[in-house]
Amino acid sequence: MIELWWLSVPVIISLFLGLKKLNSSITNPLYKALTNPVFITITLIGILLVSLKLPYTQFASHSQLLSSLLEPAIVALALPLYQQFVHVRKNFLLIVSSCTLGIINATFIATLLSWAFSVESQLAASVAALSVTTPITLLVTDSLGGIASLAAAMVIFIGLLGALFALLILRLLGVHNHQAQGVAIGTAFHAIGTAAALVEHPRIGAFASVAMALSALLTALIVPLLYPFLSQALL
Amino acid sequence: MGCLAAAKIIMHWLQGSFPAPLLAMLILLILLLTKVVKEHYLAPCAKPLLNFMPLFFIPAGVGFIEHLGIIAQQWQFLSAVIILVPLTSLLLIATLICAFKGRVEHD
């Protein structure tokens, strides 16, 4: 079995691209959201590893090639940020305030829930920085003393929920403003939500990219200061 | 990649905890705004990275299988966090922006 680990990357890529192609041919918005290629690929590979009792650590080390592209992809976010700079400059204060509000709310609600469920401090720290893209979550959660890989998995699931339902919820509530949709999705659902928003409409995707990038910056600055204060007051 | 390398070196020098990819993104943004790097020069490299960004999260996403014990034990707490944290942020931000800009786009 062990010699088949080199298949990790080709399996992920072909599964993801196949599902992406299938998903792009679907026009019904609900079916499109439910057949999200990231969600299905993660679920299928997770089921495969668990049912065959294959260690995740080995899978992770053999798929390092893909994970290592995450950092350059984050740097590439400078492009949509630059392209949308006109809108950001015009609405700079509003967008920064919105992102700040979203980040403070996310840490506050997570700490409040930790208090309500009386969870231990390590688990509470693991959920304090979820409103941000995965690498920042890993770094911030680690610095707070939480379980970084659990936080990363939760961030992915939050992103998936965002890709599936965020636009549906906003439209149901009558929010059709691209700026409101984009900034809310980018802050609350980070990269996967942003990727889904980019597919839905380039303008929503651009605002989501801006909000996601700003949230990453603001989370790295705010959460390490805010969480100790909140945990001392509540936990 | 140059920006990323530069950011990693800077962070190593400063011994700071600020994430290097984020600093690199800011450096690249400044280079674009100051026209040192041209948009058309960057786009062929950046667009595929942005288009396939979800692919790079898949290995980390599969990591949830490592924590099935905690997930089974604390599923009510984790479900509440996964639903309420982003939902409240989504609604708060959408409400704030709609209050200033309206529910439908005008510009």
Mark whether B9 and B30 lie in a shared domain. Answer: yes
Mark whether B44 and B66 lie in a shared domain. Answer: no
In which residue are the tokens 């997930």 written?
Answer: B71
| Number of domains within chain B | 2
**For A126-159, what is the HEC assignment?**
HCCCCCCCHHHHHHHHHHHCCCHHHHHHHHHHHH
Q: Which two tokens stand for residue A1?
A: 């079995």
Which residue out of A21, A59, A71, A92 would a mutagenesis test of the B interface target, given it has the greatest number of B Cβ atoms within 10 Å?
Answer: A71
Q: What is the pLDDT of residues A89-100, one digit of tens each?
A: 778 889 999 999
Which of B57, B89, B105 is the closest to A134 by Cβ? B57
Mean pLDDT of A170-182: 92
Planar angle of CA A175, A180, A184, nearest 5 degrees: 105
Considering the domain boundaries, does residue B98 fall inside one? Answer: yes
Enumerate long-range contacts of A12-19, CB under 8 Å, 24 or more apart. A12/A41, A12/A45, A12/A63, A12/A66, A12/B55, A12/B58, A12/B59, A13/A66, A13/B55, A15/A41, A15/A44, A15/A45, A16/A41, A16/B54, A16/B55, A16/B58
B44 touches chain A (CB under 8 A): no
Considering the domain boundaries, does residue B68 fall inside one? Answer: yes
Which of A170, A185, A192 is the closest to B57 by Cβ? A192
For chain A, give the percent of residues with pLDDT over 70: 94
Give the other-Cβ count within 10 Å of B33's Cβ.
13
Q: Which of A1-10, A139-148, B24-33 has the least mean pLDDT?
A: A1-10
B9 or A181, greater pLDDT: A181
Checking if the pLDDT of B80 tops 60, the result is yes
Mark whether B40 and B86 lie in a shared domain. Answer: no
Considering the domain boundaries, does residue B27 fall inside one? Answer: yes
Question: Number of A:B CB contacts under 8 A?
Answer: 280
Mark whether B42 and B22 lie in a shared domain. Answer: yes
Q: Which of A26-40, A113-127, A176-190 has the least mean pLDDT?
A: A26-40
Q: pLDDT-derived band of residue B84, with 50, 70 and 90 as boundaries? A: very high
Mark whether B71 and B45 lie in a shared domain. Answer: no
A140 or A17, greater pLDDT: A17
Mark whether B44 and B81 lie in a shared domain. Answer: no
Mean pLDDT of B96-105: 83
Reported ipTM: the value is: 0.80
B69 touches chain A (CB under 8 A): no
Mark whether B32 and B65 lie in a shared domain. Answer: no
Parent domain of B65: 61-107
Considering the domain boundaries, does residue B56 fall inside one? Answer: no
Q: Please report the DSSP string for A85-102 in residue order.
A: HHHHHHTHHHHHHHHHHH
A105 or A135, greater pLDDT: A105
Considering the domain boundaries, does residue B35 fall inside one? Answer: yes
